[in-house]
Amino acid sequence: SSGINAEYGMLGIDITKISRFKNKSKSFVKKVLHPKEIKEYNNSNNKELFLASRWAIKESLFKADNNYNTFSRIYIEKKDRIYILEGFVITTTKEDDYYFAVVMKERNEN
């Protein structure tokens, strides 16, 4: 589905079930995660949550901007519990077995 045209830019929303990401194949992980994220994933204590979070964020990102369609090329940095990707505002939350992500593309004023 497409994103919502918000006042400040396009908005993408995704909800995913965390348990869906249990015991995923290495080839699936390579399709979803950037090489830097794969290193973080391999060191993660909760691999299914790590994978679900990146999936939901990247799905939301794609809905906000369809140019972001190759997930393995997108590096979502996490600093101080905040997800960062230049040009976008990212917010997430988790409830039980569900992970929610909302991504808003910052409007280019040029």
User: What is the SS3 string spanning the chain?
Assistant: CCCEEECCEEEEEEEEEHHHHCCCCHHHHHHHCCHHHHHHHHCCCCHHHHHHHHHHHHHHHHHHCCCCCCHHHCCCEEECCEEEECCEEEEEEEECCEEEEEEEECCCCC
Residue 6 clears pLDDT 60, i.e. is over it = no
CA nearest to 64, candidates 15, 102, 96: 102
The gap between the terminal CA atoms of the chain, to the nearest Å, is 27
Provide the sign of the torsion angle of the four alpha carbons 17, 61, 69, 30, taken in this order: negative
pLDDT band per the 50, 70, 90 thresholds, residue 82: very high
Residue 109 clears pLDDT 70, i.e. is over it = no
Residue range 73-95: mean pLDDT, rounded: 96
Contact criterion met (CB below 8 Å) for 87 and 68: no
Residue 10 amino acid letter: M
